[in-house]
Amino acid sequence: MKIQIGLKLIGLLLISVSLCDCSNKTNTTETKKEVVVMNVDDTYNSTSLVDVISRVKPSVVDVYAYGNNFISAGSGVIVAKSETNYYVVTNHHVIENAKTFGISVYFDETNNSNYSATLIGTSLKNDVAILNFTCDKEISCASFINDSTNVKVGQEVIAIGNPLGILGGSVTHGIISATQREVYLNDIGYMELFQTDAAINSGNSGGALFTNQGILIGIVNSGYSDYEGLNFAIPGNTVKKCVESIINTYSNVNNLGYVEGENNLGMSFSQSAVFTDSSLNSQVDVVYVKENKVNSDAEKANVLSYANFLANKSDSFYRVKKINGVEIDSYQTAEKIIYDLKSLDTISFVFEGISRITTGGFFQQSYFYLTGNEINIDISLTQYVYSI
């Protein structure tokens, strides 16, 4: 069953706050590959929920991403370590604007301290980011479930995170409400997620979803704020794949890691009614290019977006008529096709121009209409690598 309700990502953005000194040192030389160990375990046994929470809670951290005049607050989970570093998984949307003052992780209860963290790499498609930090203290790492497809509906779960960006280490309890729930997330697209009724709020993004035995089965990333008990997490198998690929492809802070095969199209869509031509006699519902991400394949192919039109960078923008020969009747259809494409694939678009006409004298009104001009563009997809 598909859910197409535009679920909200739940990282928390705190505006106009003073910044702490947590800048990272820049290293332009290629780093030596280190041996990173990630725990996978299904064997925890405990009859006490209190004992389980006490054991796994130290592996969950608060994450703060610092930029110009803002802090993005979220959560993270320590999932791996090497001889010199600990590795934290969080959400891409928690750290994506951390371009100026860096990222820090905070332990609110275990040792009441914070550490400057380095961004290792991200996956936009899976909403996963990996950080690392150096600490001379011994810190426990969470253990992933061996195979998250074994998670069942009704299984009890524990969510631990940093709700509201100020309540780090908060624990809630619930069950798995559904597995393999296909949902559409604003700014990301389709994802296949666990659904849970465990209470989750802004700031929980990137936090842990454990079984009641303390096994990590997912990373929290979204919720539907208009209803209670409708929250979602990225399954452990997806997260493990991202962690392994990002760490293996990371070179240094100027060459971030990535998930191999993730495409860099970077095109988002929306839907609206426009007039069929400049006579303004009839309307039709169309899918159009909403925005192209900076340095994306779509931007490099000069695909005209609504965002550029609003910024007066073009006098028209594109309706999406076909993708790879498939008629596009909704933005969900477009997003779904793109989700399945890999880097090195070629995607073929048939676009139609949308322009604006202004009518009236003193009280002018503007209307959008289809120009009738078709544009065919083929794009060879490249590998997605996040750039700071």
For 1-22, the DSSP string reads: -EEEEEEEE--EEEES----S-
Q: Is 116 annotated as catalytic? A: no
Marked catalytic residue, from 75, 170, 205, 305: 205
Look up 92 and say whether it is catalytic: no
DSSP 51-98: HHHHHHGGGEEEEEEEETTEEEEEEEEEEEE-SS-EEEEE-HHHHTT-
In angstroms, the CA 156 to CA 151 distance is 10
What are the backbone angles phi and psi of residue 82, rounded to the nearest 5°?
Answer: -125, -165
44: how many CB neighbours lie within 10 A of its CB?
15
Q: 59, 62, 75, 93: which one is catalytic?
A: 93
Q: Give SS3 for 243.
A: helix
How far apart CA 100 and CA 34 sit, in angstroms, is 27
Residue found by looking up tokens 């604006």 in the block: 356
276 three-class SS = coil
The sign of the torsion formed by the CA atoms of 184, 189, 191, 197 equals negative
Token output for 108:
């609110």
Phi, psi at 17, each rounded to 5°: -125, 160
State the catalytic residue, choosing from 127, 245, 297, 343: 127
Distance (Å, whole) CA 329 – CA 332: 8
SS3 161: strand
**Helix/strand/coil for 35:** coil
- Secondary structure letter of residue 33 according to DSSP: P
Query: 366 catalytic, yes or no?
Result: no
Token couple for 77: 């989970």
Residues annotated as part of the active site: 93, 127, 205
